[in-house]
Amino acid sequence: MPLSSHATRLRRMLGVLGWVTAVCVGAGRARAVAVLACTLAGILGQAAAFGVVLLFINVQRAGEPLVFAGVTIPSRLDLAAALAWVGLVLVAAFVAAACAYLGESLSLTLGRSALDAVQRRGLAGLGRMHRIASSPARQTHVEDAARRALGGDAISFLRVSMLIPRLIVATVSFLVFFAGLFMLDTRLTLVVIGVLALALAPLAVVNVRLVKAARAYEDTARGQSSVLRRTLDLAAAQSLPGSPTPPWIDAYLDHPLRHRAFNALRQILLARRRVGLVQNLLFGAVIATALVLYIASGRGERDGWGPLLAYLIAFRIAAGHLTTTLTLLTGFNRFHAKLARLAEFLRAADAPVVETAADPAAATDRSPRLRVVDTPLPGSAADHRLEPGTVTYLLTPRRLTAYALPMLCRRMTRGRRAGARLLSSLAFTGDLWRPPAMPLSHLMTGEANPGPERRERLRETLAAWGLAELVSSLPGGLDTVMGEEELRGLPPDAAAALALIPGFLADASVLFVSWSGLNGMSAPARNDAIERLRRDAAVVLAGSRPHAPVPAVASAVVVAADDGVSGIGPPAWFAALDARQLEERGFTAARTAVAVPDDDDEDDEEWMD
């Protein structure tokens, strides 16, 4: 192998060591040393195994024995000696690979705290930037902080310093092996290539799993980008002045979406274990087949066993590097491209990411971005009146940050027509992206298999809310599996009532309210629903404009029915209240974020995706 390839390999090793060191700094020096020791042992072990193979090949080609480190490598080997040498090399390679895997696993496990620290600093920096006046350098700062927050720098460095050089080295090693084998025996080379093609076919199964893991990370990474952007926009007003870490950062770092993203990335990085197992089996079959053919041809007795076995070991190492690298690249390329688009996403608006304005009229500028209108409730009746809505959608904190908020903002900013279609077509779903199909009892209680007592209380609740007849009319009663289509098929008032069941509302933080659904209930149920909303819900999204149902995201609880039940009045009545009157009724005057749509669907499609 040429020296340039060894130099590239060395640079790759140093790049991996540098990345592991950077990740593990936050995990403590002792742990970082353990990770580096395991990784270094693995790299040196693999290099030693490959070096022995190169010596083996050179000795056999030269036809003269070689004394190396006090050990004589004979030019001709009998079968037993050759197998002993091969076994020694394979054991050394296996131990080296185990050390490398251990080091990589430790680096991912122990580096989690460091990754948290990096993201926490990045998000805190973004939170502070939202409280800084606009400046020409702001976009660059936001972009850098967002890349740090999502780990884009680490992933980019890992990909460039490890995967691409590895692919080059593996390809060169592969070509060198086949060129050398072709010079020894043309027919044997063709046989080995054919067997290799058959042996590599089952790796497609492993690749499919890796692609699924990569797509899972792609989805969650794209969701992270949207969640980060929207969370920053919507939570900017909640950041306390001078607070180094806004409170919503902890919630974001502990969010299940982020954990799923990290786990998907971990699956991709550690998938080489599964790939390595398959490779060992398949390449063992290739080596065994070539060995049988070599014995049958009589070449072993005539030319010795060294050349064949040495080249087969070299082939195993080179092909292992090549297939592992290609497999990893299959996953890395997809989600890395998505993370790289985060910078473009943050630069998409040709103005600062968040603009504040004392006048709500600033929100009428039809630009494809979310603006924070810095004005106390109720503000202008033209911008803050609550029109009767058509959608009932319950959002728990998990659904808000993981699914609904990014999707809703995405749909809203693709144009008035698309937003209107979405809002008018949805009645109630448990998940805006992939609504899960589950029994109605699971939807209502949050338990997969509620016990008899829980089911009985659920029936009593349904009866109290006037839904017993609706549920009894379903084919399976409480066990009816409800998915997106089934929920959309419910009458709007029934969907509104379902969304207000106490079991649903237990952990609600955001709620789409259908005023017509409230009015369709009995007076006691309606009053109970409104009181429950006032007590439990933290945020209510509602249609804000009759010609384009764009939601106003209010950080105060606002519930308005068409009639003025329980002290909650119609939109015009609510708009006439001042902050003091709102506080007297249990509400908190706060700021309002208004999402303004853009009419050009194509431009927004390119901007968001």
371-428 pLDDT, tens per residue? 222 222 222 222 323 232 222 223 333 333 333 333 433 433 343 333 333 333 332 2
Lowest mean per-residue pLDDT among 111-115, 134-138, 189-193, 320-324? 134-138
Residue 368: per-residue pLDDT: 25
Summarised one tens digit per residue, pLDDT across range 231-277 is 444 444 444 344 344 444 555 555 555 555 555 555 555 555 555 55
pLDDT band at 328 (very low <50, low <70, confident <90, very high): low
Four-residue CA torsion sign, 364, 367, 370, 374: negative
Per-residue pLDDT, 24? 42
Which residue, among 191, 183, 177, has the nearest Cα to 297 in the 3D structure?
A: 191
pTM of the shown model: 0.31
In a 13 Å sphere around the CA of 1, the CA atoms on its Cβ side amount to 27
| Sheet strands (E) in 398-531 | 438-439, 481-482, 510-512
Given a contact cutoff of 8 angstroms between Cβ atoms, the answer to whether 413 and 405 are in contact is no
* Residue 12 pLDDT > 70: no
- Write out the two tokens for 336: 């890395």
Q: What pLDDT was estimated at residue 219?
A: 55
Contact 36, 103 (CB under 8 A): yes
> Bridge-partner residues for 540, per DSSP?
511, 554
Model confidence at 474, in pLDDT bands (50, 70, 90)? confident
Residue pLDDT, tens place only, 217-230 = 555 555 555 545 55
Per-residue pLDDT, averaged over 140-153, amounts to 46
- Six token digits for residue 491: 């009458």
- For helices 203-235 and 79-129, the axis angle rounded to 10 degrees is 10
Q: In what order do the strands lie in the sheet with 551-554?
A: 370-373, 592-595, 551-554, 539-543, 510-512, 393-395
Question: Residue 318: is its pLDDT beyond 70?
Answer: no
Query: What 3-state class would DSSP assign to 588?
Result: coil
CB 50 within 8 A of CB 317: yes
Answer yes or no: is pLDDT of 604 > 50: no
Asked if 359 and 375 touch (Cβ cutoff 8 Å), the reply is: yes
The residue among 504, 410, 509 whose CA lies nearest residue 462 is 504
Comparing 57-66, 137-146, 380-389, 435-444, the range with the smallest average pLDDT is 380-389
Query: What distance in Å separates the CA atoms of residue 555 and residue 374, rounded to the nearest whole number?
Result: 12
The string of pLDDT tens digits covering residues 48-107 is 655 666 566 566 556 666 666 566 666 666 666 666 766 666 666 666 556 655 555 555
In percent, how much of the chain has pLDDT > 90?
Answer: 0
